[in-house]
Amino acid sequence: MTDEEKKYEKQQWRSMTLKQKLRQFFDYYMIQTLVALFVIIFAVITLKSMLSPREVNALAISVFDDVTDQDASDELCAELREKLGIDDKYTTVSITSGHDVNVLQDIMVLQVHAANNEADIIIAGEESFRWLAGTGYLQDLDSVFGDRISEIPKERIVAANGPLEGSAAENPETEITGKGKEKNYGISISGSSRWEALSLSKSSDFIAGCVAGTDNSDHILTFLEMILPES
């Protein structure tokens, strides 16, 4: 562009109204501006995720078939943090509720959380509990706690059938849900005043189970100690 052309453009720019200037800017620079803005936003989000400390799950409790009182849930989580000696804001103790085994989205969320070690305990009604055990979402108590299973009152332990395993399960036409060996998958929390304070339904006929793959067995035992009625 020659000096005369540049001079002419400057004069033309000065003679434009604000509306005309904005129109010309959008006509000529909109795409470039949007691309640049997208690149900047993407870079900021990426940098923030890289530099921000990642949250660590200390204990995650998922409640099916019921909704918990928010204040009571927050109080229990705070008490659990104190008992577990957690004062780091990036280490989490959480209770989520209102889940349903008949809602695909809830089951998909459970799968993702379990795969990322962000799910430890499921509390559910008996029918849902047996379905969760029968489909492999729960882990048997003996393999979770080992010798420490003796810390759970025997009368509280609930057996259920897990999924069918082995060569028989390889046939796609074979029903595997609940067709496996009977193992100790749950702990009855019936009669727990602490649970009834949490539950909006005020029903105590619920069973707690350990999510398959959990590595927070010590924290689970602390939770059970708090929620189970004294023998």
The residue that leads in pLDDT, 107 or 88, is 107
Q: Which of 40-44, 73-77, 158-162 has the lowest mean pLDDT?
A: 40-44
pLDDT computed for residue 123 by the predictor: 96
Nearest CA to 158 out of 198, 115, 135, 189 is that of 189
Mean pLDDT of 5-20: 65
The amino acid at 176: I
Average pLDDT value over all residues in the chain: 85
pLDDT at 12 > cutoff 70: no
Distance, in Å, from the CA atom of 125 to the CA atom of 127, rounded to the nearest integer, reads 6
Q: How much of the chain, in percent, has pLDDT values that exceed 90?
A: 53
In the prediction, which pLDDT does 128 show? Answer: 95
pLDDT given at position 25: 65
Helices marked H in the chain = 3-15, 18-51, 70-84, 104-115, 126-134, 141-145, 193-198, 217-227
In the chain, % of residues over pLDDT 70: 80
Q: Which two tokens stand for residue 114?
A: 């379990």
Residue 191 — φ and ψ, nearest 5°?
85, 5
Predicted TM-score (pTM) above 0.85: no
pLDDT score for 131: 95
pLDDT of residue 223: 95
Q: What is the pLDDT of residue 129?
A: 96
Model confidence at 1: pLDDT above 60: no
Q: 222: buried, middle or exposed (CB in 10 Å: 19+, 13-18, 0-12)?
A: middle
Contacts of 202 (CB under 8 A, 6+ apart): 196
pLDDT in tens, 149-169: 999 999 999 999 999 887 655
Q: How far apart are CA 157 and CA 167, in angstroms?
A: 29
Q: Which domains does the chain have, with CATH numbers?
A: 3-51 (no CATH), 56-227 (3.40.190)
Instruction: Give 44's pLDDT tier (boundaries 50, 70, 90).
Output: confident
Residue 229: what pLDDT?
80
Inter-residue contact 99 to 111 (CB < 8 Å): no
Tally Cβ neighbours within 10 Å of residue 118: 19
Q: Is the pLDDT of residue 48 over 80?
A: no
Whether the per-residue pLDDT at 36 is higher than 60: the answer is yes
Q: Are strands 157-161 and 138-139 parallel, antiparallel or unpaired?
A: unpaired
Would you say residue 46 has pLDDT above 80? no
